[in-house]
Structures are given as structure tokens and as C-alpha cells.
């Protein structure tokens, strides 16, 4: 399991966080319980299985929702 921290553009509506949360949870290889969308700091934190999914796949899923990803890190 790797830990990802993804910095997004400023989130303005709490329902955006719900969208992002649901989208991230629906991805294969992402640990559902670990997904945390932080509204005020506009960050997503989650654990993922690097064998099943890449960090890029995750950020792509978020960008397709319409949220710009500013920085993504995994370790």
C-alpha cells in the first residue's frame, strides 16, 4: 500500500468533496476506508495498491471530474 497526497485547486462546494470521494472510492486498487477529501485544505489523501493502480490513474480520474490537480505525491 502506498499513501497518496493530492493537492487540488481550491474546492468551493462541499458537494465537490463528496463527488471526489465517491469517484476515488470507486477506483480499483484504492483502499475505500482510507479516502479522505479535505475541503478546506483542498487535498485528497488515500492509500492505494501500486500493483493495481498508478498515482496517475487516480489523478486522471479526479481531473475528468473537472478538478485541477496541482500536485500529487505518493510514498
Cα-based torsion angle of the residue sequence 6, 69, 59, 16 in order, rounded to the nearest 10 degrees: 90
Answer positive or negative: Cα dihedral of 40, 6, 48, 23. Answer: positive
Q: Rounded to the nearest whole angstrom, what is the least distance from the CB of residue 64 to other proteins in the complex?
A: 7
Q: Rounded to the nearest whole angstrom, what is the least distance from the CB of residue 12 to other proteins in the complex?
A: 5
* Complete DSSP assignment for 32-59: GGG-EEETTTTEEEEEE-TTT--HHHHH
Q: Rounded to the nearest whole angstrom, what is the least distance from the CB of residue 73 to other proteins in the complex?
A: 8
CB of 10 or CB of 50, closer to other proteins: 10
CB of 31 or CB of 36, closer to other proteins: 36
CB of 1 or CB of 18, closer to other proteins: 18
Amino acid at each position: 500500500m502506498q499513501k497518496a497526497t493530492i493537492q487540488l485547486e481550491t474546492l468551493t462546494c462541499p458537494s465537490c468533496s463528496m463527488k471526489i470521494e465517491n469517484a476515488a472510492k470507486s477506483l480499483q486498487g484504492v483502499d475505500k476506508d482510507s479516502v479522505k477529501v479535505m475541503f478546506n485544505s483542498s487535498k485528497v489523501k488515500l492509500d492505494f495498491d501500486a500493483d493495481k493502480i498508478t498515482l496517475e490513474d487516480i489523478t486522471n480520474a479526479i481531473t475528468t471530474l473537472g478538478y485541477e490537480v496541482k500536485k500529487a505525491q505518493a510514498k
